[in-house]
Amino acid sequence: MYNNEQTQHLQEETIVLLQQAQHGNMTTNSLELLRDILRFHEYRYYVISNPLIADGEYDTLYKALEKIEQEYPDMVTPDSPTQRVARGLIKDFPKVQHLVPMLSLDNSYNAEDLLDFDRKARELSGLSEIEYCVEPKFDGASISLIYENDMLLRGATRGDGVTGDDITINIRQIRSVPLSARFSGYHIQQIEIRGEVLMSKDNFAAYNDMQEEMGLERLANPRNAAAGSLRIKDPKEVSRRNLEAFLYNVSDVTLQTGAEQPESLKTHSGTLQMLWELGFRSPQQEKRVFRGIQDVIRYCEEFEMQRDHLPYEIDGMVVKVNQLEIQDRMGMTSHHPRWAIAFKFKARQGTSRLTGVEFQVGRTGAITPVAKIEPVNVGGVTVGSISIHNEDYIREKNLQLGDTVLIERSGDVIPQVVKSFPELRNGTERPIIFPVTCPVCGHLLVKTEDEAVWRCNNSNNCEAQIVERIIHFNSKDAMDIRGFGDAIVRKLYTLGLLKDIPGIYTLPFDTIKGLEGFGTRSVANMQAAIEASKKQPLYRLLYALGIRFVGENTSKVLANRISNLYELKGYSVENLQELEDIGPKVAGSIYQFFHNEQNLELLMRLEALGLQFNNTKKDLATGGNFTGQTFLFTGTLHKLKRTEAEALVEQNGGKIVGSVSSKLNYLVVGEDAGSKLEKAKKIETVKIINENEFLQMADPAHAAG
């Protein structure tokens, strides 16, 4: 989209405007240039994953634009970067009709199917050899976009193929979708383009980690995550999910009056090139054009071998006749175009029988149904239990006890139930009855309007929640009590030797030594680990307490603002929302925790047992060699344990991030580094260093040793 000269010019202008913004010298004369620069950096970040400025610098420019537009509201344009983020909830999604029906694709599963497709294509076209364009088949949620006079007019879901939901407000939250594009440069007045909304594997993993930290349900897989996100009625939540969009098909075009058809609209590969040049993420870099079917088959088979190394999920390749005139000549059926076919990769699926359902209780009281199935091998893994998430999921999948069900694994994602087969029922199947009371303590379950899960609110008397909270308290990212895992917690609780979190610090070790399976050395190690945990920093204790919605990062934000844990009792909900990344839901949960008498009693008991309630390291995050820098580690380190290295970063004022992105400053590479290294090499702003270089930066004396 931008050539070298344009890139150089915009980067130079960026430096000038940054200096003006930092000194408060920005004027309306710079308004349109400022918008162009922000669009340029959005393209570098969200489309080609190669940013040229730091996130903080982008934020400075964005805030400068916001300030000018607030002072001069009549100068705001619909495609301004500030107009992407919506405020407030959506009441409903109106139905809209597609300009051209969104048909399905015919499927092929082997080389013979592709040879048969080629034979029919040659017969229909009257040609002896056909030029094909081949591209990945993205595994996401289909969308249709309309641009008119260069502006994004509408975004819609596929729906039934003829009519979909108008989700324009959510589409605007996807930063790889331009709010405006110069289609007029191709003499196009109106265009309808098709694509797929995805959540990358890294973003999916990071989002699920965040969900788990906050005691919320993990999403099933990237495809469902993307599809569900498009229909969320809070655009801010859509933005938070970091969705991406690939646009791969032009379905309808209206040219300007008197204009001739441009060359780009004569071939499918030409349309992909056009979209790429206009700033869209099209499969321009992945697509290949071949004459004849044999090279097509070879490319499809080669690409299948790479599927697990891609940053996003694909489930096949799409083969299209490249010449659009020939596509028109071949036409389509009521179900699919005759000029395209999907080559589906080998399924990581299997069928089994659903024999039972267990209802498990988590530490926040969430009730999760777990399906028990007859063991089946799916993609090299034997599966016998699968989470079926919640009551709505059971209803959506139409699941009954005794059903034959289809199980699928996508990449390394947890297996899921794709669907049931009602047509195979013989009358012995039974409905899955969701309990109305807690399966452990018998307390009445509740469900709020904004959640899909049923929950047991008897948190202080429900044995399952108590045990899960103890397990969480001991866990690696919390108090890190080594040698005191899930099985030991459950055994000691069952024997009556451990009743709650403070009980960890008053365990009868003489009695435990006499139990079967407990050796003298292992008990001594566990005792030492428990004693050592009393000195864990305050942020770990905050995280270990299991306050709902409070994960590791939020715990660090809170700890860095206080000198003693009890100070949080004096914070109002409004005070808490003034802190970094704390919204009303999180603030409300923190406030409730520190105004609950039973929780305050728990804190007093822990303080009396000698746990660290004072923050002796409060000011470290604002000073040190790594202040303002972010780090991530990959591979095996030899001089430090991973936890020691991460602690060293934080002691020097730096931050640890969870994945490779433009927000990362340093990737520290150890032995046998994984895919993070390959991804980091593609981002110019990420500095790749080894363990010795890291230690030299942190502490030259340490490095020398």
Distance CA 76, CA 80 (A): 7
Sheet containing strand 349-361, strands side by side: 381-387, 367-378, 349-361, 404-408, 416-420
User: How does DSSP classify residue 331?
Assistant: -
**How far apart are alpha carbons 268 and 324 in whole angstroms?**
6
Residues in the chain: 705
Strands annotated E in 533-580: none
Least Cα distance to 497 among 481, 512, 487 occurs for 512
Indicate the Cα dihedral angle 255, 259, 261, 262, nearest 10°.
-100
- State the Cα–Cα distance between residues 253 and 190, nearest whole angstrom: 6
**Catalytic hit among 137, 201, 556, 676:** 137
Residue 412 has φ and ψ, to the nearest 5°, of -100, 15
The token pair that represents 402 in the structure block:
């005794």
**Separation of alpha carbons 475 and 485, rounded Å:** 8
Chain-centroid distance, C-alpha 165:
23
Structure tokens that stand for 688 in this block:
């790749």
* 137 tagged catalytic: yes
Q: How many angstroms separate the CA atoms of 293 and 114, rounded? A: 7
How many helices (H) and strands (E) are present in the chain, helices listed first? 25, 24
DSSP 8-state assignment for residue 672: T
What CA–CA distance (Å, rounded) separates 638 from 266?
A: 58
Q: Tokens 């923190």 — which residue?
A: 590
Active site residues: 137
